[in-house]
Amino acid sequence: MAETLGSLCDKLTIVKLKQWHSEDDRLKSLAAQEKQLQEEINEFISAAIAGQIPSDRLTFASNKVYKKEGNYVPDIGGSIGEIFSELAKVNCNLWHEQEKVYEFEKVAVTEKDQVVKQLAILNLQRNKCIDGIDKNFQALVEKLGYHKE
């Protein structure tokens, strides 16, 4: 996947979740990953503002193909910061839903379909957040005139 601001933000939220849930030697490695992602985000933004990234490369739509009927995913709106916050929340929810799958045999038979469905919906929300960050950033860069055609 091509890197975009949204995909980098997504990776950073996942690293933060891993840090929150870790209490061992992984914390040092995760701290290094966090720092690297922060630097990549800063470099990406700087390069976009400097016109070093063509406007059409600031987004990479997920183009999810799925049956929309019965799979309602709310629209994501707001500023980059608001969508980033929503992405963090969605990834937290996704983390906890995924935890159920690791011991799927303990999930009641009557709840298994709901767990799988919730994972799918949360992944769709996650992709909408990533796309929303990218589209907002692209619009901002274009509005300010910091882009290459």
Structural domain harbouring 122: 5-144
Residue 31 lies in a domain: yes
User: Model pTM?
Assistant: 0.88
Please write the tens of the pLDDT for every residue from 91-147.
999 999 998 889 898 888 999 988 999 999 999 999 999 999 999 999 999 988 765
For 144, list phi and psi in degrees, rounded to 5: -80, -5
Residue 149 lies in a domain: no
As a whole number of Å, the end-to-end CA separation of the chain is: 21
Please write the tens of the pLDDT for every residue from 36-86.
999 999 999 999 999 899 988 899 876 666 667 777 888 889 999 999 999
Residue 117 lies in a domain: yes
The domain tally of the chain equals: 1
35-74 in b/e form (b: 16+ CB < 10 A) is eebeeebeebeeebeeeebebebbbbebeeeeeeeeeebe
